[in-house]
Amino acid sequence: MVVLAAPNQETTTPTVSVTTSRFRWRRLFLPATYGYAALLILVTVLVSVLSNSAQTRVMLHASTNLYNLLNGHLGTLFSSALLIGDTDTSLLVLPLLICLLALAELKFGASRLIRIFLAGHLGSTLLVALGLWVAVEAHWLPLAITHAEDVGISYGSMALIGAFLVLMPSRWRPTWAITWLAVAVAGVAMGRSFTNVGHLISVSIGLLVGLWLIRRGRTVPHGFKKVEIVLLVIATLLGYTILVG
């Protein structure tokens, strides 16, 4: 008897594409966001266990006030960005900040996120310091203001929010820019402090960065997924809290 062998049939089993899975995990890997958040949490916990007088000394030592800068304590330009304020403020700001950083890193990438944050933080700090120096030298402000406490993440955060201009649809970009400038100006009018002026400068720096990215045609992912819309709303809440809160 001749037995005819059936033709080879390859069993086709459904394969799960790992591309989408890898892409999702890759989007969850946000080293700049996680790293900075971890540093902020660590510093906040360490400062919170100190006495009130010790906390004040730490804040003043890390502050980018005019006294520290004129005496060559340039390290405060970076250490000041690791302090948020008292514990209650930190508990409110940290979750909002993490959402802002996550959205910025998703859209800009870690490197560009860091550059924009530093541009806002350093640029605003130095311009405010220059303005205070002129005002003190001209006797428009008292000498005591050179020892004022000036720490926090607000300048860098507002620069990122301003830079989100590039993420907006073209028809919404003027509204985004005008709204944030108006709120920042309102913050200056209500607060009347050099910090409020710094917020106005930092959001302006961010808007200029966003405009530069648009003009240069830099590649930035457009459109928002549902989770990114949630992050944007939370980032907007943080911005409003910083400017007028």
- Per-residue pLDDT of 202-243, as tens digits, reads 999 999 999 999 888 766 777 788 899 999 999 999 999 999
Does the pLDDT value for residue 134 go beyond 90? yes
Q: Are 188 and 200 in contact (CB under 8 A)?
A: yes
- Set out the domains of the chain in order of their start, with CATH numbers: 30-244 (1.20.1540)
pLDDT value of residue 22: 47
How much is the mean pLDDT over the chain?
86
The residue among 205 and 143 whose pLDDT is bigger is: 205
Does the pLDDT value for residue 2 go beyond 80? no
Confidence of residue 27 (pLDDT cuts 50, 70, 90): low
Confidence of residue 156 (pLDDT cuts 50, 70, 90): very high
pLDDT value of residue 52: 86
List CB contacts of 129: < 8 A, sequence separation 6 or more: 64, 66, 69
Mean predicted confidence (pLDDT) in 136-164: 91
**Look-up: residue for tokens 């266990």?**
49
Q: Is 85 helix (H, G, I), strand (E, B) or coil?
A: coil
pLDDT value of residue 152: 87
pLDDT in tens, 31-66: 999 999 999 999 999 988 888 888 888 888 989 989
Q: Which of 106, 122, 112, 117 is nearest to 162 (CA)?
A: 117
Q: At what angle do helices 154-163 and 110-137 cross, to 10 degrees?
A: 120
Percent of the chain with pLDDT over 90: 59
